[in-house]
Amino acid sequence: MLSIENLHVFYGKVPAIKGLSLKVERGQIVTLLGANGTGKTTVLSTISGFLPAAKGIITYNNQTINHLRADKIVRMGLVQVSQNRDLFPDLSVYDNLFLGGILQKNSKSLSEAFDRVYEYFPILKKRKRQNAGSLSGGEQQMLAIGRALMSDPEFILLDEPTTGLAPLVVKNISEIIKTIRDEGITILWVEQNAVGAVSMADYLYILRDGKVVYEGGPGDLPANKKDFFRQYYI
């Protein structure tokens, strides 16, 4: 569904992604792991059209999307949930979700999108009149994912959705991500915390210094995962 071949991305003259290739099959959760500063966010933002690819090809549903504008890519059903969540803290939960749904064609499809998001995240319904800025970290992450779901995406890019959250909240959000996958949405999930993300992955890549240094299914990993990941500082 998504394929990246030999991607190179620069910040000015400084290379951040140095010949990265990866694939995501429809209906999968693919996890992209890597330590701090290895280029995970850069990959996602390039897929979304926020950063230009200096070299390489990104195809989505058999169409090259490298040179498309970010809004065009969202209209194709590919939505990024950014690492800093990018919520509007002074707007209500409802209004944040509403803004995620602006591409909905009519009030019926908009209201169905709200119902679906509230079903995934009942707490957001409870808090719908509260300002986004007053939510807990976990609730804000739920709102960021919920807002992405408001446009009925086919494919979601998740940038460290569980970092900095309490273990119970991590478990809750991870399970919801799995449910979202089971309902047919394809997911590219970026994390630093290897163990949690790997347990949900259909396939995984490890990134180091802007390149893929390992790929495989969860079953291909050695028994001692901790030591295995430690060599990549994750």
Ligand X SMILES: Nc1ncnc2c1ncn2[C@@H]1O[C@H](COP(=O)(O)OP(=O)(O)OP(=O)(O)O)[C@@H](O)[C@H]1O
- Which residues contribute to the site for ligand X (CB under 6 A)? 11, 16, 34, 36-42, 83, 192
Q: Over the Cα atoms of the chain, what is R_g?
A: 17
- Residue 84: name its binding partner from Mg ion, ligand X, none (Cβ under 5 to 8 Å by kind): none
Q: Whose Cβ is closer to ligand X: residue 117's or residue 207's?
A: 207
Does 38 participate in binding Mg ion (rule CB under 5 A)? no
Q: Whose Cβ is closer to Mg ion: residue 3's or residue 83's?
A: 83
Q: Whose Cβ is closer to ligand X: residue 93's or residue 206's?
A: 206
Bridge partners for 203 per DSSP: 30
CB of 177 to Mg ion, least distance (A): 17
Q: Are 30 and 22 in contact (CB under 8 A)?
A: yes
- Residue 39: name its binding partner from ligand X, Mg ion, none (Cβ under 5 to 8 Å by kind): ligand X
Q: Are 78 and 48 in contact (CB under 8 A)?
A: yes
Question: Which position has the token pair 């059903």?
Answer: 77
- Of 38, 41, 46, 80, the residue at the interface with Mg ion (CB under 5 A) is 41
- The pair of three-digit structure tokens given for residue 58, joined into one six-digit string: 């990104």
Q: Are 153 and 186 in contact (CB under 8 A)?
A: no
Neighbouring CB atoms inside 10 A of 3's CB total: 15
- Amino acid of residue 89: P
Q: Whose Cβ is closer to ligand X: residue 9's or residue 93's?
A: 9
Q: Which residues bind Mg ion (CB under 5 A)?
A: 40-41, 83
